[in-house]
Chains A and B, each alone.
Chain A
Amino acid sequence: MTRNKGEFVVALFQSVSVAMKAETALKAAGVSYKLIPVPKEISSECGICVRLLPSDKAAAETVFAGAQIASTFVDF
């Protein structure tokens, strides 16, 4: 896989349910994202996260704050 670290950021959530809520909120706000499995280098446990372009991170943070969704952003 050819990908440079920092090309994307991923937003991690406490549970799949929260990730699904986050997806709905991003979609409603028109923020570009992609739902992906949590990368293995971040966690070996099965999970779902949201991948964003770094340029969309601020918009996503605003969306999550508005929807009271707790998340952690990691460079990916």
Chain B
Amino acid sequence: MIPVKRGYEMGKVIDATGNACPKPVMITKKALDTDSDIEVLVDNETAAKNVAMFAASRGCTVSSAQEQTNLFRVRIVKQEGTEECEDIAAFTTGPTVFVFSSDVMGRGDEALGKVLIKAFLHTATELDRLPDMMLFYNTGVKLAASDAETSADIALLEKKGVKVLVCGTCVNFFNLGGKLAAGTVSNMYDILNAMNTAGRIVTP
């Protein structure tokens, strides 16, 4: 049961109660596509915080209040001139980038990490949704070397359309010039730009 609105003029009321995370945020996002002044009702504090954080990230003015034990009201007002902040989805739907910063998967046991990285790259070739890009730096560049067992999988991923960038400084450091089976030798500008514009970064 939603309480009656208070006596002063507020935004359009959006009832997002009874919805599990992340539904309230999605409902809010949809509502903000059409309305610039809304009140979102949620039934728990976490949802209220998530909705508020989402709205704030879009440059909106946000205020939130707990009205009952299980009722929180989040007022969201779009601000003029904040259109460029509007679509957080642009960040979450950007390119998926796999970052290989070493020739092992995880930290801890070196031998186990070498086994895991082979399994990771093998599995990556079978993903339904391939990454858009893979970046290799530091000892990660060794994975793309012709004599590495992982290089065939990297070459296959590249053949399937994944953009593969390999750190040139690192290739030089490990004397791997001309010995790569896959990838384009790249630089810090392109590598950092790829990470900075990524929607998701996956690090094995």
* Contacts between the two chains (Cβ within 8 Å), count: 26
Q: By the criterion CB–CB under 8 Å, are B112 and A35 in contact?
A: no
In the assembly, what is the distance between CA of A67 and CA of B103, in Å? 27
A23 at the interface (CB under 8 A from B): yes
Q: By the criterion CB–CB under 8 Å, are A23 and B119 in contact?
A: no
**From residue 91 to 127 of chain B, which have CB atoms closer than 8 A to chain A?**
111-112, 115-116, 118-119, 122-123, 126
Q: By the criterion CB–CB under 8 Å, are A1 and B112 in contact?
A: no
Which residues of the other chain, B, contact A19 by a CB distance below 8 angstroms? 115
Which residues of the other chain, B, contact A37 by a CB distance below 8 angstroms? 119, 122-123
A31 at the interface (CB under 8 A from B): no
A8 to chain B, nearest CB (A): 12
> Which B residue's beta carbon lies closest to that of A23?
B115
In the assembly, what is the distance between CA of A23 and CA of B114, in Å? 12
In the assembly, what is the distance between CA of A53 and CA of B119, in Å? 17
**From residue 21 to 65 of chain A, which have CB atoms closer than 8 A to chain B?**
23, 34-37, 48
Chain B interface (Cβ < 8 Å from any Cβ of A):
111-112, 115-116, 118-119, 122-123, 126, 149
